[in-house]
Structure formats: C-alpha cells, structure tokens
Chain A
Amino acid sequence: MKVVITSSSQTLADPIDMHFGRAKFFILADTETGRATAHDNAQNLHAAQGAGIQSAETVAKLGAEAVITGSVGPKAFRALQAAGIQIALVEAPCPGTEALRRFKDGELPVLDSPNSEGHWV
C-alpha cells in the first residue's frame, strides 16, 4: 500500500509536518517494500490560497491510498475524499518512521471530518 507522510524534511527519521496543505515535504512510502521517496511541496507551501486542494491533487497524482498527517482543513478534506484517499491522524509530532509503524499496526485514528479551520487570505 502506498502512503504519503507529511514531513518537515526529506527523511522519515525527522518529525512529521502536522499541517497537510502547507507541509514542507510529502514522503511517499510503500508499506510492503519499505521504499520511500521525498517530494518537495514548496509551491503549495507559499500558495496564497488553495494550498490544501493542490496538495490533495499532488498526493493523488503520487498514487497514494492514504495520507498520514496532523491536521486537514475543510477543502483539502473534500478533495482527499473525492480522490478516495484515507486520512490517518497523529495527535503530536513524531518521527515519520514511528507514524508509519503505528499506521501499519492500525493505531492511528482515521479522520472522518475536517479537523482544522480553513485559512483566508
């Protein structure tokens, strides 16, 4: 299964980024092979508006079936739902490797509604 982890750096050893839309990096990890690749999200990080929507598009294009993050706004939530991507939540920053392990063990709650307010310019 392909999973995206929102990350503060290009490596899973570092803490995850708690924000979905304006995460610094998306790390695409394969839960079977353990292979992971980092994808820069600078373009959306600096977007005036619609960062979450475009981030959802990026995650969908990467072919992920789930995303592990800390918070998801209302529009990103709608976009991820439309793309059929599951959202798993960590409640506090932890290394990406730990978040991935807990996800595989089924310890992370699945988000069924947005847990963050939208941001207006």
Chain B
Amino acid sequence: MSSFPSIAIASGKGGTGKTTVAVHLAAWLAGRGEAVQYLDCDVEEPNGHLFLKPVIETAEPAAIPVPVVDNDRCTACGKCAAACEFNAVAMLKKPMVFTELCHGCGACTLVCPVEAIREEPRGIGTVETGQAGPIRFAQGRLNVGEPMSPPLIRAVKNRRDPAAIALFDSPPGTSCPVIAAVRAADFIVLVTEPSPFGLHDLTLAVETFRPMDLPFGVVVNRADPADLRVQDFCRQQEIPVLAELPDDRRVAETYARGELLFDRLPEWRDRMAELWARIEERL
C-alpha cells in the first residue's frame, strides 16, 4: 500500500451522513497538514462542494463510446444484438441502437464480422477539479436525465492525486454506481443511523461489500443510546464500529447553512481524529 491510502465513504441508506463524515474528515486531515483530496463520486447529486466551497479550475466533459452502424456494410447477421448484455441493440431489418441503454462495453463492435460498427462518444456529464483551501477537490456532475453514472464515477476517480490521501464520497445504495465508487479503495467507511431503515440497508451494504474482500467499518451517525441495534448487529457480524456521532440539533442547523461544524462544535475535531485513528490502524 502506498503511503497515501484511499478511503471510500459509503452507506446502504441515503441521508445517513456520508458527506458530513467525508468533508469533515477531509477538513480535519488538511488541518493537520496532510495532503488530502476529496472526490465527490455521488455524481447524481454532488453536494460536498456546498461545504468545502472549492474554486473550480478545470471542467472536462466525460463520455462513453456508443455504436454507430454503417447500414451499407451491415449484413444483418444479428451478432451485435445477440452480444449486447444490456438490450441496447435490437435486430430488426437492420440493427437499431438505443444509446441511452448502452454501457459502452464495445462488445457489438468486437463481434461484428464485417466491421460495420464504429464508436462515437456520447457525453454523460462533466468532471470538475479545483482546490478548496488546502484540500484538492474533484467532482462529477451527471447530465440531467442521464442514467449511466458508473463511467463518470470512474472518470472522477481517474483524477485521483497519488500524492494525497483520497476520500471517495460515494453514492448511496448497493448498485453499480456504489461498486464503481468503492472499487480499489483501501478501506470503506459505512455510515449508518439507528433506525430500522438504517439497519436494514446496512445489512444490504455488508452483503454487497463482503464478497469484494475490502476492509470496512461502520460509523453510527445520529447515535441514540436507547437504540443499539446497529451496534449489536456489528458485534454479531464482527464489524468494527469506528465512531458513534451523537444526535445533535446543532449539527443539522450548521449543516443546513452549508457550514463546517468545527467552529460551533469543536468536539467534532476530536471525533474526526478518533475516526481517523481507527481507520489508520486497519490500513
């Protein structure tokens, strides 16, 4: 492992506090003088910029290659449609391409025996990079209405600075975008909350990440001493609880104003220090 690890901050359920944990960890690490980069991989709704307030220096379009069929050359053999795992090519009189379903895998181009298929880029979003004080910043913005986010997430991760600790703020859930965001991370922080939904979706996230063979731990946000079901689950599953962040109305108030918590709630510095210590000992 390099001296600059990458940490993905994920969760099964949305709204548990991934971005809160990610931006405060970034700000705390930077405050300690570490080289740190925050990468917002939640490309459908990137919101880390609201708190880190970066100056954006570069913005580049991201695209996937989609097939274009030369109907004069095409012999209508149908191999392209049969090869498509995503039903994006239909073999009618000639092949018909539905680019919005295409994942850009290139299988149709590969199997075409007469080289009747070429590839054209289809824009799916934008990758932005910049600087938020000492924090290096990158984020993806998926085009409105665009369903294909994993290639954009990979494009964001390609901006990883190898000379900085990387924090991947991941999308919620357990589907392809999450896998794209956490893949190749050195450690996953799973943020959850003590609600039946939080526990349920944490269970799904654990089932998703276990087979990926990546080390992970749990942060219980809005922790409630009267509800320890998440902690009990983690004990049974032998998953480390890295931090318990207490429920506090002031956190919500400060967050809603788009401010970092350290000025009003200085104890959050200690919480991030403890969280980082727990992560570091597992790297």
A residues sitting closer than 8 Å to B (CB atoms) are 47, 49-51, 53-54, 56-57, 60, 75, 78-79, 82-84, 120-121
- Which residue from A50, A82, A83 sits with its C-beta under 8 Å from B101? A50
Residues of B within 8 A of A84 (CB): 93
Residues of B within 8 A of A50 (CB): 86-88, 98, 101
Residue contact B92 to A49, C-beta cutoff 8 Å: no
B96 on the A face (CB < 8 A)? yes
Interface residues of B, dominant DSSP: loop
Residues of B within 8 A of A82 (CB): 90, 92-93, 96
Per the bound structure, the CA–CA distance linking A121 and B177 in Å amounts to 12
Residues of B within 8 A of A53 (CB): 87-88, 90, 96, 98, 101
Interface size of B in residues (CB-CB distance below 8 Å)? 12
Residues of A within 8 A of B96 (CB): 53, 78-79, 82
CB distance from B94 to the nearest CB of A (A): 8
Q: Could you give, for residues 18-59 of chain B, a 1 whenever the CB lies within 8 Å of some chain A CB and a 0 otherwise?
A: 000000000000000000000000000000000000000000
B residues sitting closer than 8 Å to A (CB atoms) are 81, 86-88, 90-93, 96, 98, 101, 147
Residues of A within 8 A of B88 (CB): 50, 53
Residues of A within 8 A of B91 (CB): 57
Question: Across chains A and B, which 3 residue pairs bring their CB atoms closest together, nearest first?
Answer: A50-B87, A83-B92, A57-B90
Residue contact A49 to B86, C-beta cutoff 8 Å: yes
Residue contact B92 to A57, C-beta cutoff 8 Å: yes
Residue contact A51 to B147, C-beta cutoff 8 Å: no
Known contacts A50-B98, A78-B96, A82-B96; is-contact A56 B90 (Cβ 8 Å): yes
